[in-house]
Amino acid sequence: MFRKMFTFLRESYAELKRVTWPSRKEIMGSTLVVFIVVGILMLFIALFDFLLTILVRMLV
């Protein structure tokens, strides 16, 4: 059992050495895109909720 665990850890470490990690600039750009998309979706959902609230109040 310990042999399998050691093999797994060794192979995982070898695989991590092959990963191409993004630069700080790429991470910051991706984070900015995520924040912008989340903000747009938040506004869309808030507007939709507001309009539905008005519609339900008119019906009730």
* Tens-digit pLDDT profile for residues 2-47: 899 999 999 999 999 999 999 999 999 999 999 999 999 999 999 9
Q: 22, 30 in Cβ contact below 8 A?
A: yes
DSSP state of 22: P
Q: Helices (DSSP H) in the chain: which residue ranges? A: 2-18, 24-59
3-state secondary structure of 13: helix
Q: pTM for this one?
A: 0.65
Residues with Cβ within 8 Å of residue 22, at least 6 apart in sequence: 30
Question: Which pair of structure tokens corresponds to residue 43?
Answer: 């506004």
pLDDT band (50, 70, 90) for residue 1: confident
* pLDDT score of 2: 87
